[in-house]
Amino acid sequence: MRLTLVGTGYVGLVAAVCFAKLGHDVIAVDREPIIRGLQENKLNIWEPQLEQELADVSAKGNLRFETDVVKASADADALMVAVGTPTRPDGHTDLGHIHEVLAQLMQSTTCPPFVIIKSTVPVGTCDELEASLLAAGLHTEVVFNPEFLRQGSALNDFMEPDRIVFGCKTPQAETLLRELYDGIEAPIHVCERRSAELVKYASNAFLAMKISFANMMSDVCEGYGADIRHVMSGVGADRRIGPEFLSAGVGYGGSCFSKDLQALLTTGKLIGRSLPLLEAVAKVNDQRIPRMIAKLISLWGNPLGKRLCVLGISFKPNTNDVRDAPFLTLLAQCERHGIEVQAYDPVVRQVGAKTVKVLESPYTAAATADAVLIMTEWPQFAELDWPYLLHLMRQPLVLDGRNLLPSGVISQIVDVVKAVYVPVGRPMECSLSAREESL
């Protein structure tokens, strides 16, 4: 199949590479600077194995790049749109990039017979887009095919998904989509477009709800001296619930959960439906970083002039994405309290904020710090030489915002270094001497 795909961000580039890997003839379209980099196999995103897979399909000729959407889609069987749909200040979804793509097609009066929207869009968007194309004299069916990729495992999620959702009107569109995904073994859920659009929002809202539930229960655990890990392990063992997304920590972030939750809340208001459960999900998540800062200040006393080492900048491991990362919220809180921040991340090398120093080594970041906070659960943080790292600090205080460190490392921190270890949703651990110093 000849497929033109517009947008080469996390979703678009992964989709282009995977469709090319399935044997389709794919042309990816984006702005000239981005395309120039991709032609040289230089990615502006970081995803495990993506660079090598891109090189492979490009060498085989299955994936090419173009900057002109009209030219690229002239002979295409379908056009897939995977551009960004950010949230506007008023809470509504910005569809400007999608409208820009379709405007170019309407101006040229040419369009493939099928336009596949993969970007996350509000309910009813596909209906509106198809009506606009029809009004311009273009008899094109718009279908919705949401993505369910997790950054850090996007390639595997694409090739081995839990399900594939088709939102379409005609059997012809369903046949085309089935041909497009031929070679991927997964249940296919076919429904009308509005239901498919809502599947995407509802899925992310439910996952965000599970995370906020775990974080809410972690506060209860701290109050009673219970262990959130054991509680959520017991809860997640129920097959009706499942163990995924029940880890307590600093809250969810990234480009999907907050954005999609806000879009769903805004959409509900448009039709006069309140969504109090989702409002509570957002409220619980918004409390995570302030609670972490409160813990830190309670241990320090006066935060002014203190130095904090933060391990992890990206919103999750195996990505360099910092969009809506909890780290950014933490940075703003630290600035308000006069706390100096030094940070390290395995792949993020700059943040664009003058209030933080991003350093080349976790040990350099920890030097002369008054506390270290694990913000992102990069597995390599558990393998650090913690006695040495804490030796470099002015005050041996560890806040494990992801409950990442194993018991053996915690024993080293508490019993050998005599440091204070502060996890999430379970009692703080410290040696007798450290406890006396904190009193």
Q: Catalytic site residues?
A: 256
- Cα distance between residue 400 and residue 93, in whole Å: 35
Q: Which segments of 113-168 does DSSP mark as H helices, in order?
A: 125-135, 154-159
The token duo for 347 is 């792949």
Q: How many CB atoms lie within 10 A of CB 159?
A: 15
**CB burial of residue 157 (10 Å; 0-12, 13-18, 19+):** middle
Contact of 317 with 379, CB cutoff 8 Å = yes
CA angle 389, 294, 393 (to 5 degrees): 15
Contact of 396 with 326, CB cutoff 8 Å = no
**Where does residue 318 fall: left (phi above 0), alpha (psi -120 to 50 degrees), or beta otherwise?**
left
- Cα distance between residue 338 and residue 348, in whole Å: 24
- Cα distance between residue 5 and residue 46, in whole Å: 20
Residue 331 identity (one-letter amino acid): L
- Cα distance between residue 405 and residue 395, in whole Å: 19
Enclosing H/E stretch for 35: helix 32-39
